[in-house]
Amino acid sequence: MKRNLQAIWFAGGCFWGLQKFFNLIHGVTDTEVGYINGNTPNPTYEEVYTDTTGYMECVKVLYDTDILDLEDLIRFFFKAIDPTREDGQAGDIGTRYKSGIFYHPGYTSDAAIAQKVHEDVSKEYSVTLHVEIGPVESYYPAEEYHQNYLDKNPGGYCHISPQLYEFAKKANRK
C-alpha cells in the first residue's frame, strides 16, 4: 500500500522530549532530531550549544497525510510548547531552544496552514506568540546519540510532562 508521506520540522525546546511526543502521535511515521536554519555548515551539538551558530534544535517529522492532517499536527505541537516564551521552553533557555515551524521551501500551502493555526492559537493568549514560521533554509541531523534519546535513556531529562505524552498517545485516534 502506497503511503502519502510529507515532512515538516518543529523547534520547541530540547529536541529529546519533542521527538518522543511526536513519535507517540498516530500518523507520524518517523522522526529525526537535528539542527535547523543556522549559519554554519554541518554543526555539532557542541557548536549549537554555544548559541553562536543561529541553529535551533528541531524534530523533523515525517507523517502520513492519509492518516494525519497537517493542521492537527501543528495544533498538537502548540500543546507541547509554551508559545509565549521568546527564549526557550521550561528550563531550556537560549537561541537553540526557540520555537518554530518550518516547511519545505515552496510549500505555500504548508505555510498558510501554519499561519492559520498560529493565528487561531494567538486568540487564546493576551500576549504575543513567539513561534517562528518559515521555510527550511538549512537542516542537519543531530548526532546518533541524540536520536530517540529518551527511548535509549528512560528517565532522562525532559521538559515535556507525562500528561502531554498521554495526550499524544490518544491524539488523532478516531
The catalytic residues are 14
Q: Alpha-carbon distance 5 to 17, whole Å? A: 23
